[in-house]
Structure 1
Amino acid sequence: MILPQQITRNMALVLLSFMFFIAQVHAADQDINKPVPPLKPTLQQAIASVNVVQMLDRNHYRKVNLDRQSAEKVFDRYLNRLDPNHSFFLQQDIEAFKPYRENLSKALKTGDLKPAFAIFNRYRQHAEARARFMLARLDDGLKTLDFNKNETLLIDRKNEPWLKNQRAQDELWRKQLKDSVLALRLNNKTDEEIIKQLKRRNTNLLRRLYQSNSEDAFQSYINSFAGIYDPHTQYFSPQTAENFDINMSLSLEGIGAVLQAEDEYVKVVSVVTGGPAEKAAQLKAGDKIIGVGQGKKGPLEDIVGMRLDDAVKLIRGKKNTLVRLEVIPATAKDGSTRIYDIVRDKVKLEEQDASSKIIDVTSNGKTRKIGVITLPTFYVDFKAAQAGEKNYKSTTRDVKALLTDLKKQNIDGLIIDLRGNGGGSLQEANDLTGLFINEGPTVIVRDNRGRTEMQHDRVEGQFYTGPMAVMVDRLSASASEIFAGAIQDYGRGLIIGSQSYGKGTVQSIQPLNHGQLKLTLAKFYRVSGQSTQNRGVIPDVQFPSLYNNKDIGENSLPDALPWDTIKATDHKKFYDFSRYLPELIKRHEQRSALDPEFVYLDEMKDYITQFENQKTVSLNEKKRKRELATMRSKRLAIENRRRKSRGETLLNNLDELEAIQNDPDYKKEEENRPDAFVAEAGKILGDLITPQLPG
């Protein structure tokens, strides 16, 4: 079972979603014509900062010497956390902060928060200046902006030097204003609507600055420090911690997405499996929500610059009500938007039950029945189990019941589909593995002192002995990787899909005098001695993926703990698939080259990669329109090739595609459409079963 206070990645995502879905009470709006007042630290925050430093030094898995070098890392991370696009701080600010950089190690150890708040207040001054700059130019109208001039805007400035002076800053802000105007014009807004929307947006930014408090500064600073240990170590303020404790047992009524603030935007971190957003099949990780409308006809309210909790208050709502989201897709580098309709529903992770079906696959002229069990998460009813209820709900119990039914139908093979499964109960991963292996170890946990503890399957025999495969993708993490890794190490089944996430660490929640600290205290290792951390599980047969490994996955996170190995533990392999893999891969590649869904995935991956690598956008209106037309034309061609292969009517434009995708009948049809990737996994398993396979 999961130890008290320990959480896996899936639970961490739940924590984030609860944090972001709790609306806090704010003070009444202040007069935004007055300067934003400076913030000051509290004694409780100073004490908490010392506690955090000491607790991480004693208990974290990674040992970090808080010397000048690591303190400078905290300093740089703090600056980049506040100003990730290098649009606010000037070079003269960085020079003025030099004493803070040099003495930050001492400040951290003694609880001196003056450097943190001085930097945060300077950031707020620049953010206020930018909002007022934008409002002043919008008052002058759009005629002062020349959209015929051949200018460009660098999209991602995180690696750019700090702005040299006020003149360079004004020039950047002017270009950013032009970019915002062009993006709205390309979304068919009139100039009058654009001015009104951008004024409201920048007024929201000012209000957010007035509503920020000392806890905002403290959290940013302490999390900049905590982050140098690893990306899963995090400080939670008293209000955030209280909301988490109150709501861990409650269901949510919303869209089922984990959100975070990024600059002035609300960004989608992930979409919860089985939730309304996933069922709508539109919202994706990396998308930015810029507008929210209630019902079919409610006006879209601009939420750029709005506090995250206030924005989420608009997104949340009662079950069965419709919310309209105006979204900048992660792939839309030009700022073009889409409108997504999502019907709110309860989001309750424990209701994401395992399910099963049977598919028929043909290999070498012989048709075989392949059972497929889809597992969205590793769940268990802790309360019922602790209360001693005999029939408490759990992943392993449900899968066992499904397997019983599948065996009665005489399946020839089994697929466990873990795509999108972010983890959950470690004990369930252990118990589920036990259904497929004989008695033996399943995973090793090593703590910060190097001590190891082994999880075992202590039940003799196998509940299912037939051929099997496990499907994973980039969003399969934590407990999913433990299960898939064990199946692979034991040679019990093939692993098919794309490289998994790489979340191989254990976290614990520790109370502080002021808030709570989540810290990493252990790592997972497979029975082969390999950690699942950072590298994840590498499939035996790999499928293409739309997820960019540089953007999604443990190895994309700063200061992630490294992949490493320990001594393997004794375990007996069932099969050695290595001699069959070359032929299995060859047959798979021959089929996928002709499979319309695999071809579509490859084309979409190339399309996304092409526009992800775009470093700049044009600020010339005619050129920008041509660039957008080219992008949409390429996407339309890809969609029509797919539709032609399906025997569907070809589209005249992407607007027709968006209308179709919003149609409830189309969504039902897509849900019922055979999954080409499961079908191909079944064919691979069928090839493995086929006697004629060489090897």
Structure 2
Amino acid sequence: MFKKLKINTLLLFVPLTFLMFCFNSPKDDDEKMSTIMMSVQKTLSYLHYSPKPINDAYSQDVYAKYFEMTDPAKRYFLQSDMDEFSKHKTKLDDYLTRGDLVFYKLTIDRLYQRVDEIDKMTQDILAKPINLNEDETLILEPKIKKNPVNSKEQYNEWKKYIKYNILQEIETLNSKEESQKKKKDSVIKYKLQDTIKLNIKTQDEKIKFATDEVRDLLTDSFRRSKKVKKMDWFTRYMNAYTEVFDPHTNYYSPKDKEDFDTNFTGKVIGIGAIIQEKKGFLQLGQLTIGAPAWKSKQLSEGDKILKVKSKPSEEPVNVVGMLSDEAVRLIRGEKGVPVTLTVEKKDKTIKDVTMIREEVVIEDTFARSIIVNASDGKKYGFISLPGFNADFEDAKGRNASDDIKNELIKLKEQKVQGVILDLRNNGGGSLTEVGDIMGLFMNAGPYVQVKDGNGKIQTLKNKTNAPLWTGPLVIMQNELSASASEILAGAMQDYGRALVIGSPQSFGKGTVQTFVDLNRFLNTNDDFGSLKLTIQKFYRITGESTQRKGIVSDIQTNDYFTYAEIGERYDDYALAWDKIPAYSFTKGNYFNAAALEKSSAARMAKNKYYQLLLESAKWKENLDKEETIPLNITKFNDLMTQRKAQIEKFKSLDKFENGLKFALYQSEIDREKSDEVFKKKSENWVKNLTRDLYLQEAVNIVSEMK
């Protein structure tokens, strides 16, 4: 959840004026990083909603956070490294204030050194026979793990880690073999594709194949780590400072900010292709339907990218071995400007493909809807909203409220009897979109209270008195529904306009962020990145914060996330829950929530698939909490056999179908006929909906609402 900076002009005016033009243009990366540090410190201290004292206690928190982010599994740094680093434990606050890079350069130079040493170390390990019969154990839980005492211990720990990965690869091969043998028609296909092609016949051959796979994975991993520039590692270092203030205050480098904007607006200027790294090469992944790469008819998923010519006037750049994010920035560019990719096709032919960059829309970002034909013979509308997207720069750009409006118009034309709005996994977005979406379902009224760091409270109101849909409304949420999702669900719940069903409580993100460009403080035209800064907290019209507590569902259903530590309440640095005075509002009487909850509880208690799913979720959560795993191949296989026996019990969940029938709009059906790829995407979406147990219950509930 964040606001565009211009929305908060009055809030930020005085501090920004104080900070303006404090630094001159840096001469090199060291000066640039130093300048960013001092600028971040002042921004945090003056503009954060709840600024922390920049002192020794803060320094120790930052220290712990940094190593949690840099070496979480304690595989890279030796204990002697940590002993050396610990001398700086209470000095990081001073380093931030004066832009001192001594600690950062010490740790990052040591990390490069250790990566290089461990790369050679793993090559040595993999060059020798791997004994999987030794009775060893790998510690999985970092909290009970210690840094290696010396290089010998580190060697042994990496040897264990490699064994674990080899055992996992062998298990993957065994699982494939078992799965294929169960399919009579696929046995021959399996033998042709895997046994003959890969020449895997014996256990020793499986071990060799798995070892080669692990070697390739590690080689790729170390190669990428070595290519990461110090300025990119620096982003992680700065986020150790910012995230101790709160988990949603983050430093964004210029390219990170570009990626954020792309995800938020749902569009990018480029060719419309996923770029993937595989064994030192960049390959084309999925092509976006209708985008330049797809329209060229010359590119295919799996093509290797050899060179990129970003502009007609420039020479092609060799991208072999380049990190994918660097290549992506060569491919992206100005709309209407040609870009040329030199690719190696699967038949080994080399081809130059020139495309004109276009604005590519990422459809998965936007709302979509479908007709649900239920067993009662009635039609209901289902709307999926992945995020509260908005385009602040383009008045004609897409936003969530307009998309929802368009979907509601289509659903009304189909004469649906009720609407289900799916906010599951929706992490939020634009605060202003919440009020506009609310106005599609009910008359004008306040929907959220916002408090700034000075204690000033502002109430945001929907001013529209022309709702588009006034019939039954159900909102679905889960533990990953956050921020704007929680404001909308909370407001609709407070007014009694919608019944909220799903996880016992949502994520619990009750803070508002804005982007502050660090350049505005500097006497330079260089781009120093941005700080996404928490500047406000929001509260329901009842006065309760959604921070940490989230939205409690009217009808509670557990899922796979329920038993995991997901949510703001599990973060040590999340802001606290509190309460302010309620704002006057009138609650409607749209349905009998108690009766609906009772009816749903009775259904779910009898639903054998739901009960089995809960058992599966608890079992998986217990697996995630296991602290060690055996590395002896016999013991490992025995453990996998036990797990497979347990998984077999849950296999029926894979075959579950909710019995609902879905219908796409006629316009989309027509599009399907002319576009097989789009048809496949739609089929996959519908297939997932038919297996959605929670959607089945949502339809049951909306059908009972009067």
Query: Which of residues 223, 228, 236 in structure 1 aligns to 2:239?
Result: 223
Structure 2 match to 1:104: 92
1:373 match: secondary structure: strand
Q: Indicate if the aligned counterparts of 2:499 and 2:593 stay in contact, CA closer than 8 A.
A: no
Q: Aligned partners of 2:479, 2:68: CA distance in 1, in Å?
A: 27
Q: Distance in 2 between matches of 1:564 and 1:350?
A: 35
Q: After TM superposition, give the deviation of residue 483 of structure 1 in Å.
A: 1.0
Q: Cα offset for 1:441?
A: 0.7
- Structure 1 window deviating more from structure 2 (227-236 vs 555-564): it is 555-564
Q: Which residue of 1 aligns with 2:473?
A: 468
1:520 aligns with 2:534: yes
Q: 5 Å matches for 1:64-75? A: 64-75=52-63
The 1:125/1:174 distance shift into structure 2, 3 A limit, reads: same
The equivalent residue for 2:621 is 609
Question: 3-state SS of the aligned residue for 1:186?
Answer: helix
CA contact (8 A) 2:2 2:429 kept: no
C-alpha distance in structure 1 between counterparts of 2:365 and 2:29, whole Å? 43
The offset of 1:616, in angstroms, is 1.5
Report the counterpart of residue 26 of structure 1 in structure 2.
none
Gaps of 5+ in 2: 8-27, 174-204, 280-285, 290-299, 305-320, 333-338, 347-358, 523-527, 660-679
Determine whether 1:488 maps to 2:504: no
Deviation per CA, 1:568-625: give whole Å up to 9, x if none: 1111111397xx5554333212212333542453243133223222222110101212
Q: Secondary structure at the match of 2:90?
A: helix
Structure 2 counterpart of 1:376, from 371, 386, 409? 386
Change (3 A) 1:352 1:491: same
Residues 255-274 of structure 1 aligned to structure 2 (within 5 Å): none
2:514 is matched with: 508
Partner deviation per Cα, 1:512-540 (whole Å, 9 max, x = no partner): 24322221111221111122222221100
> Counterparts of 1:220 and 1:369 in 2: how far apart (Å)?
50
Q: Distance in 2 between matches of 1:175 and 1:126?
A: 18
CA shift at 1:255, angstroms? Answer: 8.0
Q: Would the aligned equivalents of 2:419 and 2:473 in 1 still touch at CA under 8 Å?
A: yes
The correspondence of residues 48-447 of structure 1 with structure 2, limited to 5 A, is 48-139=36-127, 141-142=128-129, 145-188=130-173, 190-241=206-257, 249-250=267-268, 309=325, 348-349=362-363, 352-360=366-374, 362=376, 370-380=380-390, 382=392, 385=395, 394-400=399-405, 402-403=407-408, 406=411, 411-447=416-452
Post-superposition offset of 1:403:
4.2
- 1:450-500 Cα distance to aligned partner (Å, 9 max, x none): 222221122336544333221112232222211111011112221111232
Query: Partners of 1:150 and 1:524 in 2: how far apart?
Result: 55
The change in CA–CA distance for 1:670 and 1:6 in structure 2 (over 3 A counts) is farther
Separation in 2 of the partners of 1:47 and 1:644?
57
Q: Deviations along 1:112-147, whole A, 9 cap, x unmatched? A: 1111211222233223222221111222x22xx432
Please state how far the C-alpha of 1:252 moved relative to its aligned partner: 6.7
SS for the counterpart of 2:109 is: helix
Which residue type is aligned with residue 698 of structure 2?
A: A
Which deviates more, 180-189 or 145-154? 180-189
Write the distance in 2 (CA, Å) between the matches of 1:582 and 1:115.
Answer: 58
**Structure-2 separation of matches of 1:382 and 1:445:** 21
Q: Find the aligned partners of 1:450 and 1:403 in 2 and give their Cα distance.
A: 38
Query: One-letter code of the match for 1:156?
Result: E
Q: Deviations over 1:243-270 (max 9, x none)?
A: 767996516767889x99xxx9xxxxxx
In the TM superposition, residue 172 of structure 1 has moved relative to its aligned partner by 1.7
Q: Cα 1:619–1:459, aligned 2, differ >3 Å: closer, same or farther?
A: same
Question: Aligned with 1:510: secondary structure?
Answer: strand
Q: Which residue of 2 aligns with 1:543?
A: 557
Q: Is the 8 A contact 2:137 2:630 kept in 1?
A: yes
Amino acid paired to 1:591: R
**Take 2:163 and 2:328, find their aligned partners in 1: how far apart are those partners?**
28
Q: Residues 452, 394 of structure 1: CA spacing in aligned structure 2 closer, same or farther, 3 A cutoff? A: same
Shift of 1:370: 4.1
Secondary structure at the aligned position of 2:268 is classed as coil
Q: Distance in 1 between matches of 2:38 and 2:657?
A: 63
Amino acid at match of 2:170: R
Distance in structure 1 (CA, Å) of the matches to 2:392 and 2:682: 38
Aligned-pair CA distance for 1:308: 6.5
Residue type matched to 1:229 in 2? F
Question: What is the CA deviation profile of residues 170-216 of structure 1, one whole-angstrom value per residue up to 9, with x for unaligned ones?
Answer: 33222112212222333337444344444444444443454233313
- Secondary structure of the 2:516 match is strand
CA 486–128 in structure 1, closer or farther in 2 if over 3 Å, else same: same
Q: Distance in 1 between matches of 2:274 and 2:509?
A: 22
Report deviation, 1:429.
Answer: 1.1
Q: CA deviation at 1:383?
A: 5.5
Aligned partners of 2:704 and 2:32: how far apart in 1?
64
SS at match of 1:469: strand
SS of the equivalent of 2:621 reads: helix
Whether the 8 Å CA contact 1:251–1:348 is kept in 2: the answer is no
Shift of 1:558: 4.5
- On the 8 A contact 1:447/1:521 being kept in 2, the answer is yes
Q: What's the offset of the Cα at 1:318? A: 12
TM-score between both structures, scaled by the size of structure 1:
0.72
Give TM-score, length-normalised by structure 2.
0.71
Matched residue of 2:474: which SS? strand
Contact 2:270 2:331 in 1 (8 A): no
| One-letter identity of the residue aligned with 1:434 | G
In 2, Cα distance between the equivalents of 1:381 and 1:104?
A: 38
Amino acid at match of 1:250: V
Deviations 1:74-103 (A, max 9, x none): 112122222111222233322222331132
Distance 1:217 1:400, change over 3 A: closer
2:606 aligns to what SS in structure 1?
Answer: coil
Tell me what 2:698 maps to.
681
CA 1:397–1:130: 2 relative to 1, 3 Å: closer
CA distance in 1, matches of 2:420, 2:580: 30
Structure 1's 307 and 536: CA in aligned 2 closer, same or farther, altered over 3 A? farther
Deviates more, 1:159-168 or 1:437-446: 159-168
Change (3 A) 1:107 1:380: closer
Instruction: Determine if the alignment matches structure 1 residue 670 to structure 2 residue 658.
Output: no
Query: 1:6·1:508 contact (CA, 8 Å) conserved in 2?
Result: no
| 2:458 paired with 1:477 | no
Alignment of 1:567-606 (within 5 A): 567-575=581-589, 580-595=592-607, 597-606=609-618
Q: Match of 1:150, SS? A: coil
Instruction: State the shift of 1:350 in Å.
Output: 8.2
Tell me if structure 2 keeps the 8 A contact 1:117–1:217. Answer: no
1:175–1:411 distance in 2 versus 1, CA, 3 Å: closer
Select 1:618's aligned residue among 630, 640, 644.
630
Aligned equivalents of 1:318, 1:421: Cα separation in 2: 36
